[in-house]
Chains A and B, each alone.
Chain A
């Protein structure tokens, strides 16, 4: 069974703090993703990585950065958290070749106060 794990289910941070969200997958997938989900806005892609040290901006990268030093681990960094980054953050992974089945982690509910 594919497993995607995220470091926290719930997180509360203060405005201005640096926040790290970590994601680990155990299926040797090349592609990893960070999404955020907000009511009425659906799932929006923040960043995408298709290989170690490779990254690509998604639809809403502003205020975020990412790091992928090892194939199994993809980190999302909020350099200076703001209240508008309060959201549900979802990590996912899938292989490059078919089947292109994407697997999600349990999500992290981040609240920035």
Chain B
């Protein structure tokens, strides 16, 4: 199956700082999502981004499928951005895009 690696595993920022989270994957994919897991455990959809760039407020994401990576940018971070960020790609190239494999996540802590 496709392997997913996220970096860094942990990130501590001061409020207001910018950050870049990275997701590398081992094969070309037609499907990639970024999630934020809040302190209560729910995974919130941030971006569905199989290719290109998307922006949503202070967050933006870029996926370069041919180079097998995706980046999540957080600008002017706030304490509410704290939590774990996951990327997910299809489990393998033959899936109907139903089954996903997840990275281990980046744990972000934003200090006031």
Residues on A facing B (Cβ under 8 Å): 30-31, 33, 37, 42-43, 45, 48, 50, 58, 88, 90, 92, 94, 96, 98-107, 109
Q: B24 on the interface (CB 8 Å rule)? A: no
> Least Cβ distance of A66 to chain B in Å?
14
Known: A43-B102, A96-B96, A96-B98. A101 touches B41 (CB 8 A): no
A34 to B30, CA, bound (A): 23
Q: Mark B14-37, 1 if CB is under 8 A from A, else 0.
A: 000000000000000011010100
Q: B97 on the interface (CB 8 Å rule)? A: yes
10 contacting pairs across A/B (C-beta < 8 A): A33-B99, A98-B30, A100-B31, A100-B97, A101-B48, A102-B45, A104-B35, A105-B42, A106-B42, A107-B40
Which residue of B33, B41, B97 is within 8 Å of A98 (Cβ)?
Answer: B97
Which residue of A48, A92, A98, A106 is within 8 Å of B40 (Cβ)?
Answer: A106
Residue with the highest number of chain A CB atoms closer than 10 Å, among B33, B41, B44, B48 = B41
A72 to B105, CA, bound (A): 29
> Least Cβ distance of A95 to chain B in Å?
9
B41 and A99 contacting across the interface, CB-CB below 8 Å: no
The 3 closest A-B pairs by CB, nearest first: A100-B97, A31-B98, A104-B43
